[in-house]
Amino acid sequence: MSREPPQSTDEQPSEPRRDGAGFHTAFRPNFELREVRRGQRPGSRYVRVMKVNPKGFRPVAPGVLEATPEAHAPRGNVGRRMAAVRRVLVGQPLATAAQAHERLTKVKALAVFSSDALSSVAYATEEILLVLVVAGTGVLSGVLPISLAIVFLLAVVMISYRQTIHAYPNGGGSYIVAKDNLGIVPGLVAGGALMIDYVLTVAVSISSGVAAITSAAQSLHPYALELALAALLFMVVVNLRGVRESGTIFAAPTYVFIASVMLLIIVGVVRVVLGGLSGHNLLSSAPPEQVVHATQSIGIFLVLRAFASGCTAMTGVEAISNGVPAFKPPESDNAAKTLTTMAITLGIMFLGIGVLSHHFGLVPNNNETILSQLGHRVFIGGALYYILQASTFLILVLAANTSFADFPRLSSIMARDNFLPHQFTFRGDRLAFTNGIIVLAMLAAVLLVVFNASTDRLIPLYAVGVFVAFTLSQSGMVRHWWRLRGHNWRRSMTINTTGAILSGIVAIIIAATKFLLGAWVVVLLVPCLVGLFYGIYCHYRGVAEQLQVPEIPKPLPEQRIGTVIVPIAGINRAVIRTLAYARALSEDVTAVHVTDDLSGAEALRGEWERWNNGVPLLILETPYRSFLSPFLTYIDALDARSPGSLVTVVLPEAVSAHWWQNLLHNQTALRLKLALLSRPNTVVTDVPYHLR
């Protein structure tokens, strides 16, 4: 920021400054401009210039005033009350300048960006086994090669994304990388696919977290949907409080979960190694004779489907590359290190669980998750088991938070590029992208309500979008290296080519093996979203073209105010004030009274003539009791008489002291304003008259 530091912070804001550096300077150019105008227009009145520092502002540069916190104080009873509620829920507003401080350490970033990816070890192995068990318990050992394949894929994707993080230090989500290198449509496909997955992540992780609670406390089962919506609301509030606070809240459960699973694996492996020697209490319930049939032929389709199911472990891996700017400087290095840490942690946990499940020959069942079965066997039901289960539940709910960190960021970037409504770029009181957070929550709430907070039907829609985005992002990186051909470009390009090809194959595998189970929804939805993004873009571009002016615009045209119309319902103080204003505007003022009561109108005309105020009165009789239509038709007639010239409608508006009192008044003024807004060449002026 290039501006001077504020100089008058401690002064009385309403006192005039005499040092020449502050507000005086700020207004001098204006003063000069007006002096020039005075010269240009002989006979015009002398224009007063503001010579004192306006209250609530601080001069920061010539012609620039900075609003102080007092200038942002809420107004009115309702405003103050709403602001108070916001303060309690969301916290004190933060200045934009605080943005640089609102950054994440690596420790917090791992919690914010990785809960989605890490939480998936709670179900990914189970998803693989669920597919394999269809072919009989004998093929369950397939879990080992499949897990190894997924960990290999994870390593490739991680290395690819490390490159992206360094190449795009301002946040290199799939959308940006694909758009920059492959063009708009691939970028939009990646953006749309990711958005779908972010919404699904919220719905799936919240409902699976709630399912964990309701399984524990059966009496809560009828309230599953309400609990899910309450959890969603909690996420919204926490995220509206801002990035740093959500990091603080979410750090503990994530690390407890990592620690519990790591301990599970270490203790498990140690016990197996020791128990392999003494081995009595561990392998007693695992029937090893089933494992030997692992080589029997099972359909390739089933293997692929099992693999596709396991790939849900990789949703959320790209979150870090999207969120590089949220890291403390040096952003890229910190993000790359966090990504590596996360991938290694995820890989170890996933592989460990896979190996132990295989070793114990675990079979998925409806009453107990694989992770819980493992916990029982390894921790033998001790306190550690309960810590594992509790932190699993917490991280499942918190996994939604990754989406809350990424969806608003992605939508703000796409809005900045005119592919989404500009409102998504707005940062709220706490610098979070308020609208993105709220829209994500609303979409997830719709999913929760429609699917009644049940994960079963949501899971198959999952993961397609992520791998489409991976593929496009890494293809983009390939193009990126090819164009730059900098240091080591061949190596970088090879890495990303491998990543792109593998991700592409996986995306096809997932879409094909889960198409009928629900992936078709995503396959259909992505093109629709791309069309929507493109339509929004075309609208914004059209508006910009229509409003565009040359580099240095022509001098302001001379404008005549022209015809002024004052619709009146009678003679009262509000009308008198409005007529006085209208007469100051123009010589050509007509008062128009629209009525269905001719005798009343004649009485009004009598009064008007006795008053003799110099403004002609026109009475429009409406036989159909519609006041708007005849008035608009009359303006049409004026328009037809002198096309292109302006008509100014000056409305007397009595404003009640309390909003609910407006319910007692006819909303004609409001409806008239709405109708006139859609008329060309019609200016609407509201002259309020405030009632006590």
| Interactions with a copy of itself, residue window 10-39 (CB under 8 A) | 14, 29-30, 33-34, 36-37
Instruction: With beta carbons less than 8 A apart as the criterion, state whether 401 and 115 touch.
Output: yes
Pattern 614-653, binding to a copy of itself, x per CB under 8 A? xxxxxxxxxxxxx--xx-xxx-xxx-xxx---x-x----x
Closer to a copy of itself at the Cβ: 18 or 641?
A: 641
Residue from 16, 63, 486, 600 in contact with a copy of itself (CB under 8 A): 63
Helical H segments across 133-183, by residue range: 143-167, 174-182
Number of residues forming the site for a copy of itself (CB under 8 A):
145
Closer to a copy of itself at the Cβ: 528 or 543?
A: 543
The pair of three-digit structure tokens given for residue 272, joined into one six-digit string: 């197996």
The pair of three-digit structure tokens given for residue 345, joined into one six-digit string: 């942690």
Measured CA to CA, the distance from residue 320 to residue 341 in angstroms comes to 11
Closer to a copy of itself at the Cβ: 55 or 483?
A: 55
C-beta of 408: minimal distance to a copy of itself in Å?
Answer: 15
C-beta of 2: minimal distance to a copy of itself in Å?
Answer: 7
Segment contacting a copy of itself (CB under 8 A): 173-181, 246-254, 256-264, 558-566? 558-566
Residue from 11, 15, 21, 64 in contact with a copy of itself (CB under 8 A): 64
Helix (H) or strand (E) holding 648: strand 647-655
Restricting to residues 563-602, which ones interact with a copy of itself according to CB under 8 A?
571-574, 576-577, 579-581, 583-585, 587-588, 590, 596, 598-599, 601-602
Distance of CA 40 to the CA centre of its chain: 51
Restricting to residues 298-337, which ones interact with a copy of itself according to CB under 8 A?
none
Helix axes 184-216, 106-119, angle to 10 degrees: 80
Measured CA to CA, the distance from residue 78 to residue 80 in angstroms comes to 5
Closer to a copy of itself at the Cβ: 119 or 648?
A: 648
Segment contacting a copy of itself (CB under 8 A): 155-163, 208-216, 376-384, 552-560? 552-560
Segment contacting a copy of itself (CB under 8 A): 44-52, 265-273, 317-325, 342-350? 44-52
The H helix count followed by the E strand count for the chain is 23, 7
Q: N- to C-terminal Cα distance for the chain?
A: 46
Measured CA to CA, the distance from residue 381 to residue 378 in angstroms comes to 8
Restricting to residues 380-439, which ones interact with a copy of itself according to CB under 8 A?
421-423, 426-429
Measured CA to CA, the distance from residue 361 to residue 355 in angstroms comes to 10
Check residue 104 and report its DSSP letter: B
Restricting to residues 149-208, which ones interact with a copy of itself according to CB under 8 A?
none
Restricting to residues 67-106, which ones interact with a copy of itself according to CB under 8 A?
67, 69-76, 93-97
Pattern 658-687, binding to a copy of itself, x per CB under 8 A? ---x-xxxx------x-x-xxxx-xxxxxx
Closer to a copy of itself at the Cβ: 289 or 558?
A: 558
Angle at 675 between CA 671 and CA 677, to 5 degrees: 115
Measured CA to CA, the distance from residue 79 to residue 82 in angstroms comes to 5
Closer to a copy of itself at the Cβ: 195 or 224?
A: 195
Distances (CA, A) of 345 to 155, 352, 374, 378, 396: 11, 10, 18, 20, 17
Helix (H) or strand (E) holding 595: strand 589-595
Closer to a copy of itself at the Cβ: 312 or 595?
A: 595
Segment contacting a copy of itself (CB under 8 A): 55-63, 146-154, 352-360, 448-456? 55-63
Q: Does 217 bind a copy of itself (CB under 8 A)?
A: no
Closer to a copy of itself at the Cβ: 342 or 440?
A: 440
Query: Would you call 543 helix, strand, or coil by DSSP?
Result: helix
| Residue for token pair 């290199």 | 172
